[in-house]
Amino acid sequence: MELLSTGSKEVTIYDIARELNISPATVSRGLNDHPAVNKETKKKIENMAKEMGYRSNTFASNLRRQRTHTIGVIVPRLNSYFMSAVISGMEKVANSSGFNLIIGQSLETATKEAASAQTMFNSRVDGLLVSLAYDTDNIDHFKDFLKKGIPLIFFDRVFNHSQCTGIIIDNFKAAQEATNHLIEQGCRRIVHVTGNQKRNVYADRLGGYKYALSNLGLEFNSNLIIETDLSVEAGVAAADQIRRMNPLPDGVFAANDACAVSCLLALKQAGISVPHDIAFVGFNNDPLSKVVEPNLTTVNYPGHEMGEVAAQTLINHLNGTVNINNTNTIILRSELVIRGSSIRNGGAK
C-alpha cells in the first residue's frame, strides 16, 4: 500500500484510520490495547502507526486526566555535589513511580526563581520541589500553585508556610556539634564562615555556633563571623581575611565544604599549619573533603536521602496516601564526620 505523505505534519490517528479504511475510534482503541479490537486489527494498526511515524500524544492524554506525571524542581545551582545527590534521589523515586522531573536553576536570585516557577506552572507540573535562592524574601511567586492546590514542598532552604512541607536536617544541632568539637580540641577563637542569613540553613548554623560558644563559656565575637556566598573564591578571600586577624584564630567552621577546602588550602599556602595552627570543620561531606590533605572534618548531610524523601512525600500526596498540609517539617538525621583537619589533641572526641 502506498502511504500518503504527511510532510512535516504530525501523524494522527485520523491519518492511520484513512490509510486502513477504519474508524479513528478503532485506531485509538487498537493503540490502547482495547479488548474490543481483535488481535489481527491491532497488529495492522500497530504496524501502520510504526510505518507512518506516529507518536502518541501523552501530554494531551495526561491533560484529559488532569495529570502530567511531571514534577518541577527548582534549585539554586546544579554545580554542587550536594544538589546533584538530591536530584539523583528525586529521580530514582520519581522514575520508579512513573514521573519525570523538570529542573530549573534560580542561580541564587529571586527573579530567576520566579521565572522558573512560572515556567513550571505553565508546564502544568503535578507538584513542585524547591530549594530557595539566596535573596528570596517571600514566596509570592508560588501563590498560583497554592491557589490551585498544587503541592509545594521546600527542601534544604525552606520557607515556613501552613500549606507547605519543609524537609531539612537539624542545622542548629549539627553546627553546635561541629563547634563543640573544635572547642574540645582546644580552639578558643573560632571563625565561622557563613552564607546569607535570610536562608534558614545558614541562620540555624550560625545559631548553633553561637549556642555552643555560650554553653561552654566562650564569648561571641562578631568580628569572627565572615558572611560570604560560600563559593571557592569566597573561601580564598576568607583565608586572606583570617590571616590579617590579630591574634590569629585557632579554628574555622565553614558552612560548606567547597568554601572550607579553598580556605584551608589558601591558609596552608601561606604557611599556616592545619590543624596545628588552625583546626577546620566544613559542612556537607562532599567527596572533596576526603581529597584535601589533611582530610576535612565535616557534617554528613544526606542529600540523596533528602531527594528521595522529598519526591516520595510529594508523590504520596498526589496519590492520596499522605496530606502534606498536615506535615509542616520533616527532619532528617545528620552526623559529624571527624577527620584529620580538626584533630589537635591526639584523637577524636
Q: Are residues 186 and 152 in the same domain?
A: no
* Same-domain status, 194 and 295: yes
Mean pLDDT taken over the chain:
91
Classify residue 50: in a domain, yes or no. Answer: yes
CA 176 to chain centroid: 23
Check whether residue 290 and residue 316 sit in a common domain.
no
The DSSP element (H or E) to which 227 belongs, if any, is strand 225-227
pLDDT per residue over 7-65, tens digit each?
A: 457 788 899 999 999 998 899 888 888 888 899 999 999 899 888 888 766 555 555 55
- Do 180 and 154 share a structural domain? no
- Omega within 30 of 0 (cis) for the link into 287: no
> Do 140 and 187 lie in a common domain?
no
Question: How far apart (Å, rounded) are the C-alpha atoms in residues 6 and 22?
Answer: 18
User: Are the beta carbons of 56 and 46 closer than 8 angstroms?
Assistant: no
Per the CB < 8 A criterion, the answer to whether 233 and 262 are in contact is yes
- Domain with residue 37: its CATH number is 1.10.260.40
pLDDT band at 2; cut points 50, 70, 90: very low
Based on the fold, state whether residues 28 and 176 are members of the same structural domain. Answer: no
Task: Output the domain CATH number for residue 132.
Answer: 3.40.50.2300
Q: Where are the alpha helices (DSSP H) in 166-301?
A: 171-184, 200-215, 232-243, 257-269
DSSP state of 284: B
Residue 255 confidence class, pLDDT cut points 50, 70, 90: very high
The span from the CA of 3 to the CA of 10, in Å, is: 14
Does residue 25 fall inside a structural domain?
Answer: yes
N-terminal to C-terminal alpha carbon distance within the chain: 81
Same domain, 189 and 261: yes
Instruction: Kindly state whether residues 176 and 146 are assigned to the same domain.
Output: no
DSSP 8-state assignment for residue 342: T
> Which residue range forms the structural domain that includes residue 283?
171-301
Structural domain count, the chain = 3
* Residue 42 and residue 78 in one domain: no
